[in-house]
A = this chain, B = another copy of it.
């Protein structure tokens, strides 16, 4: 039950839902997400560690960047049950649409320097 609670806690936060919805568009580094969210880098990094600890996302190091991705290949029934639902949900949300729009022009080589 603890793993499910951890997942629901991770999902019960606006910033983290916005992160997940952005990652369902494409993989992102921390600075790209920070730009869209308008939060401190350390805050975003903390949110990412909570999502990762819950098993919802994973990260791969790419030089000085860290790429985060949705964990669609999870072996957890909780995760594989929830992620598809989330991909249908919130697509008409104003904030989520604004984030998606911003993402179109947010690339690490321009943003993070």
Kindly state the separation between the CA atoms of A2 and B12 in the bound complex, as whole angstroms. Answer: 9
Closest beta carbon of chain B to A1's beta carbon, Å: 5
Number of copies: 2
Given A1-B90, A89-B77, A96-B1, do A8 and B12 touch, yes or no (CB 8 Å)?
A: yes
Chain B residue with the shortest CB-CB distance to A82: B85
Label chain A's interface by main secondary structure: helix
Q: Say whether A1 contacts B81, CB under 8 Å.
A: no
Binary contact track A68-92/B, C-beta < 8 Å → 1, others 0: 0000000001100110010011100
Q: Say whether A81 contacts B77, CB under 8 Å.
A: no
Q: Is A17 an interface residue (CB 8 A)?
A: yes
Q: Say whether A13 contacts B5, CB under 8 Å.
A: yes
